[in-house]
Structure 1
């Protein structure tokens, strides 16, 4: 110990001398209209020293070694800049940088992948970020956020064309949906209606992290989707954005006309800023390519949607902020139609017919999100900090079903309360070895149940307490070699009281198929220790490789297992949690105006989460699973006014039924369509003319074929095993800015009126969802900004 004391003293003097030879860089990042670019990233090339601009577009880098440096500035929707700076000992270098809009619309700054803002080139995994500009392009065609994501995100299964995203997996597994990092998904009883959690006009950008990740906890088996809400767009006390729109069918306009209005006010005065917005949309009848009204089950026709959004911020110092955000969203279908189910075996589609609707309106009865956040820079050891307290409550009502005794409607109710604290502390060992450590803890209480609207219990109340400390390390091992690794410990307890399973009937025969079982409740406890690690090498733009390993954790929809119980004790049900291992390797290649990214992945788990119906009961199959696939993305700026792009996604998976660590035996089976999507192709052409006043965008989405199963003894296919036949969809949008403040938009969905069954309708094989896709439709809108 005595020998170590002189060494420690020497290191202390060395660090003091190093910091004595430092200065700082302070600056402001603006766009070409002289508006601040909030949340842009600023890094010193060859190091991990960096910062993120606040809402004023300002930043500061402290303890920068004196000398010549290159500063890299990047922001969502803007061209990346590299500029030289000279730092003098003991002085502060002031700079102002103007970023031009990105020609390709490539987003570079993300938050969701590591819980702290950083550029994509610091992340050793595949990320898709949709900027506000990209969202607005698709909003000209459809306001259904499920469609927007399906058209833009490689690896995400095809859109269902409904309010439900059930079967719409991310790389073959369930995903976690969030708003500003607050979970919207209900993994305890996954009703798969979480993607429609707010109105698209309240979204600033969308970040999609693909592959299992534990960075936000339970449920991100296939990755996560994080909706980042709006921030003030101009540095003035008052500004507004008004949007008026009309929608309708181009096949049969009768009763199809809908309307939409959205109003936003925002501004910044001194240290205070705000965004207040409201949106209302009423859709008309949705019709297929033959002009028939689409069935109301999970339908989006004749739907009233409301969204209220409020964000208040106060910068009590230039680098410390408090922010309060609240969002309310509801979307309920009020229709005079009832479904007339078709027949999959005869390829007879389901349609809607006039009739008396039973029960209450289906849809999102109300989704409340309240979030209080404190954040800042330059805390102890020059750390960045963030502390959140949040509340989320949602009621999702499903359609009337005759499967319950005397009929009924189920409703998933979920209420979450949570708190999160994290710090990001930079460190510097030598001039060539530095980085940062992000660490903290998440605490969440999630109470979820699925009763019937009339009060009967289907899924009992599940009360989950989740405590999870975590740490993430990022370091520059060499000048251009970045390593990221981390650890998260999940401690979960789920309490369930005694309950009785719900009596259900066979709708075809009217006979009781579940007389009801009394089930003893109890506690379920889980402890999981999850790791991630990755490398990225950034020296050559022509070839930037990356590779990573990450683990995810999921409680595998315990609710569906509890409601199907055929035993008298909950502890006799196999409710073991799933740990997913995700292996990924890819590269990014940039050459002149071309950007290409390719990535391959393998996802494994010792337990499965696929299900199948046995004797009318949904049973979860727990055998090991292996999923693999690859994705490719290309973007080319042919001219400053002409951009092209394309993506391709492929995924496949199997269950190891005999559990012998091989997936090639005859007993092993492919995963069904509810997990594995068919190949997906997308492409776009974006062209601006008339001095950028007129913008045209042509978008293509193609779904390939998948056929993995044999016809059963009844001459048809089992649930989830139907073959998927290809279909091709083309959307067109045009935008004309006829004054500085006003823009007129026209969008045409399914331009060539493709007559098709969406992938889910094909593989599910049930008449209840054997529904055709939406036919050609228009969307007219006008946006006024003051």
Structure 2
């Protein structure tokens, strides 16, 4: 023991000596109006040491080696800034950083890719981020978040123009929609109405991760969309934002006028901050380019939408925080119209006629999200920590259908309860090799069913428990080479009680086509082990390459299999989960005011998720799939007040029908339109005058052709196989800043009144959704901020 004491003392002295050679950097990040820039990213150049500012714009970097350093500060919507800082041993250096607004917002801080804040140039895969500024720009034209995302996100299929995003895949596969990381999607019974989960005014930014990912668990086969909710923007105890708007048709204004009001209060006082907001919108009749009322199935005309949002935060210290968020959303169609179905073969569109509506209003009856989060820094081993608990409950009601015996309406009902915990621990191997490890555990209980409104059971309750430990490693090598890799273990158990399939009828003949029979329930269990790895090299701005491999995990749409079961035991149904392998390679090129990004991808799975109708029953095809495509994005500031941008998306996919690991055989078939979208082109032109008081934005969206299938024996196309003919849409908006606090906006959707069928209407080939797109419409609004 005596021999150990000198050794222990020496170790303590060496540790104290090493610690004495470090200092700290504290500071604040402000904008040009001296307002704090919350959640900006602060890193030491050449290291992986960094943090994010809190809601007051403050940051703290501890145990920084003494000497000269370059501090890199970036935030969404601002130009990146690099400042020199000298750290003296045992001292704290205080700095104040001022960020200037960016025309392009190229150095965004994102959290969805790794579950921890990082700049977008640290991620070795393709990400699209919509800032609050970009969202507000599109809100001048349309308040439908589906339209906004379709116009902005490469790889996302064209907008359906309705409340449903069915067939609107991300890179040819289903996506996971979240609010602050809380899942809104229902993969167990994908009703495809999850994108309209909250009002756009409650969104601070949107992060879209493209390609299969398991970072948030089940359902992100094609990627994920994460809505990040609003945070206080100023230090004042009370600030307010009021928005008033009016919408209507420019083709035929009769009964088309709608109104919208949104009110937000937010502020900070001491350690407490808050956001309170409410929004109400009532739309009038939606009309096509010929002035005819669009049919009500999945319609957004004559719809009442409500949103209530509360976020309360308390900072125990500048870097330890508790936050409680609640959001309520409802959007129900209350109409006196009934659909008058057209004919696909004769190219006769479906319309709406006055009549008695059956059932209850369709749409989002209610969507509740309650989320409690604890977060902080400088925990165990200087780790950043985050602990979440959440509750989500949603009821989505569909339109009345005569396919049920005596008719009826179904609804997808889902209740989710979850908890998450993670730690991000930094490490340093040498002066040129350091990084961090993020590790934790996710637990989710999801109970989803699809009953009819009258109580009949179509899809029984599926009670899923998902437990998943994970670890993610990030390493910066020689300053500019970034490696990321990770592992996630998914353990899923789903319980289904005994049930009886629902009796359905042929609406044409009135005959029973499914008499209903008993199915024995049971338990379904899944285990999956998922990996991801990626590299990014940031040495040269002119050419920044990246490449990645990631796996996603998706329990196939079990609900649709259960409701169309033709066996007496669920163990006989092909319900195997799908593991998706996503390969991606791309590059970013920056030259002065130009930024260009190109990416190519391949996505494979041994099991498929597409379906087809056989004898009136929807059957899921489990054959192997391969999807591939390219995306390109360009942004350039031509002048200080003039900018231009464009995107291109192409995706294609096939099924290996004979399962011989080839996709080029004569028997192999292309995936249908419900999975693979036609090529998409978008462009914008922004122009500002009078010191940015007056701004114009011209927006273009073009959908190309896709024709992969032959006519069937009846002389028409099977469901999902109709050819898509090209169409182009142009939107125009203008904004005038009347005073420091008041802005007037006007937008025109479908400026040239294009008469078209949206892509989904063309490839689906069914009269129930053979609906034309919305004609020219206006949106006038005024925003007052105090």
Give the aligned partner of residue 390 of structure 2: 390
For residues 482-520 of structure 1, the C-alpha deviation after alignment (integer angstroms, 9 at most, x for no partner) is 000000000000000000000000111111110002000
1:395-434 correspondence to structure 2 within 5 Å: 395-434=395-434
Q: Which residue in 1 is equivalent to 2:267?
A: 267
Deviations 1:500-546 (A, max 9, x none): 00000011111111000200000000000000000000010000000
Note closer, same or farther for the CA distance 1:215–1:11 as it changes in structure 2 (3 Å cut): farther
Matched residues in 1 for 2:544 and 2:10: separation?
A: 39
1:628 aligns with 2:628: yes
Give the equivalent residue in structure 1 for 2:62: 62
Deviation at 1:8, TM superposition (A): 12
Q: Kindly indicate whether the alpha-carbon contact (under 8 Å) linking 1:105 and 1:134 is maintained by their aligned counterparts in 2.
A: no
Alignment partner, residue 445 of structure 1: 445
1:84 aligned partner: 84
Matched, 1:372 2:372: yes
Report the secondary structure of 1:201's partner residue: helix
SS at match of 2:763: helix
Alpha carbons of 1:377 and 1:457: their partners in 2 closer, same or farther (altered >3 Å)? same
Answering whether residue 124 of structure 2 is matched by residue 124 of structure 1, we say: yes
Q: Secondary structure at the match of 2:290?
A: coil
Instruction: Say yes or no: does 1:664 pair with 2:695.
Output: no
Structure 2 counterpart SS, 1:768: helix
Contact 2:532/2:550, CA 8 A, preserved across alignment: yes
Match runs of 1:212-361 below 5 Å: 212-361=212-361
Distance in 1 of aligned mates of 2:289 and 2:11? 74
Q: Give the 5 Å matches for 1:423-572.
A: 423-572=423-572
C-alpha contact 2:561 2:619 (8 A) present in aligned 1: yes
CA–CA separation in structure 2 for the residues paired with 1:299 and 1:9? 75
Measured after TM superposition, the shift of residue 478 of structure 1 is 2.2
1:590 matched residue in structure 2: 590
Q: CA deviation at 1:674?
A: 0.2
CA distance in 1, matches of 2:726, 2:145: 23
Query: What is the distance in 2 between the residues matched to 1:46 and 1:268?
Result: 35
Matches within 5 A, 1:17-166: 17-106=17-106, 108-166=108-166
RMSD: 1.4
The answer as to whether partners of 2:578 and 2:605 remain within 8 angstroms in 1 is: yes
Instruction: State the distance in 1 between where 2:6 and 2:442 align.
Output: 40
Q: Distance in 1 between matches of 2:586 and 2:560?
A: 36
Structure 1 distance, partners of 2:415, 2:7, is 54
Q: Is the 8 A contact 2:107 2:121 kept in 1?
A: no
Normalising by structure 1, report the TM-score.
0.98
Q: Any idea what SS the aligned residue of 2:649 has?
A: strand
Taking the aligned partners of 1:616 and 1:33, their CA distance within structure 2 comes to 63
Cα distance change, pair 568–57 in 1 and its aligned pair in 2 (3 A):
same
How many angstroms apart in 2 are the aligned matches of 1:19 and 1:162?
61
1: CA distance between counterparts of 2:38 and 2:31? 10
Residue deviations 1:337-382, cap 9 Å, x none?
Answer: 0000000000000000000000000000000000010000111111
Residue 477 (structure 1) shift: 2.3
Whole-angstrom distance in 2 between the partners of 1:63 and 1:342: 70
Three-state SS of the structure 2 residue aligned to 1:149 is helix
Indicate conservation of the 8 Å contact 1:105/1:133, yes or no. no
Could you report, residue by residue, the CA deviation over 1:562-599 in whole angstroms, capped at 9, with x for unpaired residues? 00000000000000000000000000000000000000
Determine if contact 1:107/1:130 at 8 Å carries over to the other structure: no
The aligned residue for residue 197 of structure 1 is 197
Task: Say if 1:697 and 1:732, in contact at 8 Å, map to a contact too.
Answer: yes
1:107, distance to aligned residue in structure 2 (A): 5.3
Of 515-524 and 103-112, more deviation after overlay is shown by 103-112
CA distance change for structure 1 residues 514 and 749 in 2, over 3 Å: closer, same or farther?
Answer: same
| 2:575 corresponds to | 575
Report the alpha carbon displacement of residue 17 of structure 1 after superposing the two structures with TM: 4.7
- Structure 1 pair 745/778, CA: closer, same or farther in 2 (3 Å)? same
| Contact 1:393/1:414 (8 A) holds in 2 | yes
Instruction: State whether residues 202 and 277 of structure 2, in contact with CA within 8 Å, keep that contact through their aligned partners in structure 1.
Output: yes
User: Conserved in 1, the CA contact under 8 Å of 2:417 and 2:446?
Assistant: yes
Q: Could you tell me how far 1:7 is from its partner in structure 2?
A: 12
Secondary structure at the counterpart of residue 134 of structure 1: helix
The change in CA–CA distance for 1:455 and 1:592 in structure 2 (over 3 A counts) is same
Aligned residues: 783
CA–CA separation in structure 1 for the residues paired with 2:398 and 2:250: 29
When residues 434 and 459 of structure 1 are mapped into structure 2, their CA distance, relative to the original with a 3 A threshold, is same
Structure 1 residue 127 displacement after superposition: 0.4
CA 94–287 in structure 1, closer or farther in 2 if over 3 Å, else same: same
Aligned equivalents of 2:195 and 2:666: distance in 1? 37
2:676 maps to 676
Instruction: Determine helix, strand or coil for the equivalent of 2:732.
Output: strand
Q: By how many angstroms is 1:21 displaced? A: 1.6
Q: Label 1:16 to 1:759 Cα distance change in 2 as closer, same or farther (>3 A).
A: farther
8 Å CA contact 2:681–2:701 kept in 1: the answer is yes
In 2, the alpha carbon distance for the partners of 1:99 and 1:288 equals: 45
1:376-420 Cα shifts (integer Å, max 9, x gaps): 011111110010110000000000000000000000000000000
Contact 1:107–1:131 at 8 Å: present in 2 too?
no
| SS class of match (1:349) | coil
Structure 2 distance, partners of 1:108, 1:362, is 38
Deviation at 1:6, TM superposition (A): 13
Change (3 A) 1:713 1:16: farther
Deviations 1:162-205 (A, max 9, x none): 00000000000000000000000000000000000000000000
Distance in 2 separating the partners of 1:253 and 1:212: 44
For residues 7 and 631 of structure 2, the distance between their equivalents in structure 1, rounded to whole angstroms, comes to: 51
Alignment pair present for 1:705 and 2:709: no
Deviation at 1:18, TM superposition (A): 4.0
C-alpha deviation, 1:260, in angstroms: 0.1
* Distance in 1 (alpha carbons) for counterparts of 2:406 and 2:470: 49
Q: Secondary structure at the match of 1:488?
A: strand
Deviation by residue 1:199-238 (Cα, 9 ceiling, x = unmatched): 0000000000000000000000000000000000111000
Counterpart Cα distance in 2 of 1:283 and 1:314 = 38
Cα separation, 1, equivalents of 2:659 and 2:369 = 43
Work out the CA distance in 2 between the residues paired with 1:532 and 1:640: 40
TM-score by length of 2: 0.98
SS of residue in 2 equivalent to 1:273: strand
Paired residues of 1:633 and 1:645 also in contact (CA < 8 A)? yes
Cα shift at 1:19: 3.6
SS in 2 for 1:762: helix
* 2:665 maps to 1:652: no
Where 1:502 maps in the other structure, the secondary structure is coil
2:125 touches 2:547 (CA, 8 Å); kept in 1? yes
Q: How far apart are the structure 2 equivalents of 1:750 and 1:174?
A: 28
1:345 and 1:11 map into 2 onto residues whose CA distance is: 84
Equivalent residue number for residue 751 of structure 1: 751
Q: Which residue of 2 aligns with 1:170?
A: 170
Alpha-carbon shift at residue 67 of structure 1 (Å): 1.0
Q: Secondary structure at the match of 2:401?
A: coil
Note the C-alpha offset of 1:16: 5.8
CA distance in 1, matches of 2:483, 2:729: 41
In structure 2, distance between residues paired with 1:523 and 1:61:
50
- 2: distance between equivalents of 1:269 and 1:588? 42
- What is the rounded CA distance, in whole Å, between the counterparts of 2:541 and 2:435 in structure 1? 22
- Give the secondary-structure state (helix, strand or coil) at the position aligned to 1:305: strand
Kindly provide the CA deviation profile for residues 261-303 of structure 1, in whole angstroms up to 9, marking residues without a partner as x.
0000000000000000000000000000000000000000000
1:123 is displaced (CA, Å) by 0.5
CA distance in 2, matches of 1:11, 1:664: 66
Sort the Cα spacing of 1:530 and 1:346 in 2 relative to 1 into closer, same or farther, 3 A.
same
Determine the structure 2 residue equivalent to 1:773: 773
